[in-house]
Structure 1
Amino acid sequence: MRMTKQEFLTSSGIQLQVLEFWLEQRWLIPDEAAGETHFSEIDVARAHLIRELKEGLGANDAGIDVILHLLDQVHGLRRLLAELRLQMGEDRD
């Protein structure tokens, strides 16, 4: 589901200034098309994760950068492994 910036702010529970900072830090990277910014459910989940890291665990901005970078690497590796498994399965046929 695609949502506008206002819908995202409502769903994520963050303020506009916070969103602008997170976008500047590239902690969130929404889709942009035809001059419009659209957020997804994944962006909302990531915003909740960032809030939990900051408020629940007390991570600072530098820590958030590292944590998100590592999580993105893990997800990228999982996707790559899934693709490799699929290719290996297809090669056996």
Structure 2
Amino acid sequence: MMITRTDFLYRARLDDATLEVWISEEWLSPQRTDTELRFSEADLARATLIRELQHDLGVNREGVGVILNLVDQLHGLRRALAGKLGPSA
């Protein structure tokens, strides 16, 4: 299920300016339609992680980028392993 920008901002507890920064940093990659951005539940979870890293843990912008890159690598490796092991794993 996709989430509208307005719903995403509310659920992620973000303001529009912060969302724009996170998109420009490529921390979030919403789907773009002709008229709007649409967000997934995974985008919402990622936004929550970013907010917690910055506000709760005090991670700076560069650190957030490194952490997100590592998380993406981990997910990629898990997908690759799942593909090699098959559905029974």
Instruction: Name 1:52's counterpart in structure 2.
Output: 52
Structure 2 runs not aligned, ≥5 long? none
Between the aligned partners of 2:57 and 2:8, the Cα distance in structure 1 is 23
* Shift >4 Å, 4+ stretches: none
Report the equivalent of 1:80.
80
Letter matched to residue 16 of structure 2: L
RMSD over aligned Cα atoms: 1.3
1:36 is the counterpart of 2:36: yes
Deviation for aligned residue 1:27 = 0.2
For 1:69, what is the secondary structure of its paired residue?
helix
Q: Quote the sequence identity (%).
A: 45
Instruction: Report the structure number with the largest CA radius of gyration.
Output: 1
TM-score with structure 2 setting the length: 0.93
Gapped regions of structure 1 (runs ≥ 5): none
- TM-score normalized with structure 1 length: 0.89
